[in-house]
Structure 1
Amino acid sequence: MYRVWDFVTNYSILLVAGALLALIWANTDPATYHHFVEYPIWFNDLLGTDAQTWVTLHGEDYHIDGIGDVTRVLTVHFLINDVLMALFFAMAAKEVWEAVALHNGSLRGRRAATPLIATLGGMTGPIIVYLGLASFMGSDVFQAVSNGWAVPTATDIAFSYLVGRLVFGAGHPAVRFLLLLAIADDALGLVILAVFYPSGDLAPEWLLVSLGAAVAVYLLANVLPRRMDRHNQLRPHSTWVAEKLSFWPYLLAGAVSWYAFQRSGLHPALGLLPIVPAIPHADRAFGLFSEAEHYLTDLLNQIQRLLKHPVEIILFFFGLTNAGVEFGAIGAPTWLVLLGLLIGKPVGIFVMGWIAARPLRLGLPSGMRLADLVVLGCVAAIGFTVSLFIASVAFDPGPVQDAAKMGALFSFSAAIVAVAAGKLFRVQKQHHR
């Protein structure tokens, strides 16, 4: 039994509510909206955006013209996007880690080959469409928007999964294919964020601090207790660590890793990723929406359950602080992002999926047709959450960023396209497994 309705209700409804509230607020009283988003919570030297840059851009709005020798300012936007969204990306990383590392992980073995190759098409297709159309619009447009090439590569896993179930039915093999593709898309998206969108000047030596934190907590809170309990079936040391310390060592290691990512120049929202593999986990993966996941007692799944409600609230505020775009901001980046998703995703997924299934003879899941790949590609064109996030880091605040975000919001139209494509290609719904 799959918990998709529970997941979508808990996570996506709040996210959409935040986005809708942001759109209404930004289009009725933009001054107070931006005043809220950039509000300075704390001037300090530890975390936040560059203080001098903030004063130059926003200081006048808050009647602040000097801050002394303080180097950073923690704003509402930084708190949500750079600090708290690290918890969301950690949950995404958990699914990717289990899918890759565990014995029966969904991204291992021959059965995952075709979805993985199709994922490459789903990433490259939007890039080709986005940059191709941008170059066609002229060199000025291309220079202004080229850094946003990754915005249309994202697939919103929750919304795509929901629409996939509506189009194909819960029991159709294309739904499982879509889930594998979305998880792989998330993994590549994390790599793209880390490699191509640093948040500042790179200082890679700080990544050694992050790696050191992960290794240290793995050895001290995981390996050492087990080694001390060798030949003792009661496992007193491991039990003490599990009951008394619980997740606290990993929380401390996560804080160190996050700070190291911020100092390294990589986006700090990815700062918890090195810690996830160090957390004790189950030896089986049942999948993001599987009911069985609720009963696993390993620490990694316990932490995921603890984060469930906080991440729901975080996603609401993410929508609120990132989707506040004035409708007048619609421009070339809007259509480039939207067409990259609506054209590049389906074409890329179909072409690479066909290559994997036919010339490479890797095949498709039993009961799935090549035509289903086109429909699946339309479903995967819903970018939303991660597209919004990438747009916020790919462009500086301003008209280009706002226009790109509008394209990410408009990608919800892919749901309508997917339903129409399902009718056109005569998808036979399968409601039972």
Structure 2
Amino acid sequence: MTAETAPLTAPQRRYRESLWIERILRRETVGGMLLLGATVLALIIANSGWGLGYFGLRDTYLTIGFGDLSWQISVGHLAADGLLAIFFFLAGLELKREFIAGELRDPRKALVPVVAAVGGVALPAVIYLLITLDDGPQALRGWAIPVATDIAFALAVLAVVGTSLPLALRTFLLTLAVVDDLIAIAIIAFFYTTDLAPAWLLAAFVGLAVYAFLAQRFQEFFRARETAAWFILLPIGLLVWFFMYESGVHATVAGVLLAFTIPVRARGGDDDGLGPRMGLAEIFEHRYRPLSAGVAVPVFAFFSAGVAVGGWDGLVEAVTSPVALGIMVGLVVGKTIGITVATWLITRLPGVSLPRGVRWVDLIGLAMLAGMGFTVSLLISELSFGQGSALDDVGKVGILLGSLVAALLAVALLGTRNRQYKRQLADEQVDADGDGIPDVYGDDRASS
């Protein structure tokens, strides 16, 4: 057995996992800044003299093809249904990696963040329903808006204010956000599917099967010739996306399903997929993440976050409406209490506890940070009320303000905790035996 194919030792595995988390944090910091910039720009333009041009561009229909084979889609829907599918493809790759090679592969480690995510989804939805109960059936359709956590924004904030926080805390947030995304994707697929067309859905699954066969059977070919994936897998993926769009299921679901077919482990590589030979999933993640974080998500945010609030009076009217209040309270209060209480309850079971190094005050800070709904929440608002409708605008005001308040509260708490952890960080970098791996990863106490 060569050094390249030898299974990783426990310290090596823990160290490689830490490097992967750090890499994700660095990338999401840049993506989060671009996302914030696109959002601010959209709000400025939408409430300026260029507002009519902005909304006109968003509602402009593009024609693809010609004659009887032509197909039309608005710029706004292309951003939400098309470009955002790239984001969901990355989310699917992260989900699969967590199940195959990350925290979710170990049921004992996965139990706490999974239950925490469920609590962080259930309570915000209940709070929203209670606040909007007397506001009519259309308002009730937005019950799922406050359930989502924006991975890019949450990890970007954590990367900026949590440079010295324990690795276990950052891993916990990533795992929780990934599970949260999985739940949100399931909600979109099952509760926001209208006028299902079985023939198109069948065509989507046939295309998905072909895509899966090629990705699995010819993994080494695509690893050796990365450009081949652009000419072979990408066209098939686009067809699957189109068939899913026409089927009535939201097209972003296609991105997740396609990602689930990509192998995480390279043949002959390390037993946990973290070795020198990257699996196809990690190669795709390297290639598509810049496209997602740098183009797809910011463009979606630009066309979705622009809300004309109508001055101070309009802003006050929107904020005080039951829909906006339900979203804000759900994101800020529901997420914090739901995640904290669910975690407390599950850790009452024998043998179940918080990850070592995570304190309850840290968990509360993460729960606050999970209240940054944004990307997926904006999408669900459009699915609930219709893009550009009055309720959609009100919902987006609630999302923006709720996410902002959640971020500020989390920054205040986690920033204080970060200063307290700075001294511990120096100890974690000590490599007394000179083996290239900090000694803390060789300590059995770090394994939990």
Query: What is the Cα deviation at residue 427 of structure 1?
Result: 8.9
Aligned letter for 1:174? L
Q: Which stretch shows the higher mean deviation, 165-174 or 35-44?
A: 165-174
1:308 aligns with 2:307: no
How do residues 82-231 of structure 1 correspond to structure 2 at under 5 angstroms? 82-100=81-99, 102-106=100-104, 108-135=106-133, 139=134, 141-165=135-159, 166=161, 169-171=164-166, 173-198=168-193, 200-220=194-214, 222-223=216-217
Q: Distance in 2 between matches of 1:359 and 1:222?
A: 40
Q: Distance in 2 between matches of 1:163 and 1:414?
A: 11
Query: Which digits, 9 at most, give the CA deviation of each residue in 1:130-187, with x for residues without a partner?
Result: 111112xxx2x14231111111011111222233352583325322211111111011
Aligned letter for 2:177? A
Q: Distance in 1 between matches of 2:248 and 2:166?
A: 44
1:272 counterpart SS class: helix
Gaps of 5+ in 1: 47-68, 227-237
Query: What is the Cα deviation at residue 44 of structure 1?
Result: 6.3
Q: Distance in 1 between matches of 2:414 and 2:63?
A: 51
Q: Distance in 2 between matches of 1:45 and 1:3?
A: 44
- Alignment-derived partner of residue 364 in structure 2: 374
Query: What is the Cα deviation at residue 222 of structure 1?
Result: 3.5
Q: Distance in 1 between matches of 2:417 and 2:102?
A: 33
- Alignment-derived partner of residue 434 in structure 2: none
Aligned letter for 2:289? K
Contact 2:120–2:147 (CA under 8 A) maintained in structure 1? yes
Q: Distance in 2 between matches of 1:72 and 1:210?
A: 17
1:274 counterpart SS class: helix
Q: Distance in 2 between matches of 1:297 and 1:425?
A: 35
Match among 257, 264, 277 for residue 247 of structure 2 = 264
| Change over 3 Å in CA distance of 1:167–1:125 after alignment to 2 | farther
- Alignment-derived partner of residue 322 in structure 1: 304
- Alignment-derived partner of residue 364 in structure 1: 354
1:253 aligns with 2:270: no
Q: Distance in 2 between matches of 1:381 and 1:241?
A: 38
Q: Distance in 1 between matches of 2:154 and 2:94?
A: 16
- Alignment-derived partner of residue 3 in structure 1: 23
Identity of aligned residues (%): 29
| Change over 3 Å in CA distance of 1:246–1:34 after alignment to 2 | closer
- Alignment-derived partner of residue 414 in structure 1: 406
Contact 2:215–2:263 (CA under 8 A) maintained in structure 1? no
1:273 counterpart SS class: helix
- Alignment-derived partner of residue 46 in structure 2: 26
2:63 counterpart SS class: strand
Q: Distance in 2 between matches of 1:358 and 1:271?
A: 38
Query: Which digits, 9 at most, give the CA deviation of each residue in 1:185-218, with x for residues without a partner?
Result: 01111111111112x4112443332222222233
2:239 counterpart SS class: helix
Query: What is the Cα deviation at residue 11 of structure 1?
Result: 1.3
1:349 aligns with 2:339: yes
| Change over 3 Å in CA distance of 1:401–1:369 after alignment to 2 | same
Contact 1:147–1:394 (CA under 8 A) maintained in structure 2? yes
Q: Distance in 1 between matches of 2:213 and 2:337?
A: 46
Contact 1:217–1:249 (CA under 8 A) maintained in structure 2? no
Q: Structure 1 length normalisation: TM-score? A: 0.80
Gaps of 5+ in 2: 1-18, 429-448
RMSD over aligned Cα atoms: 3.0
Query: What is the Cα deviation at residue 252 of structure 1?
Result: 2.5
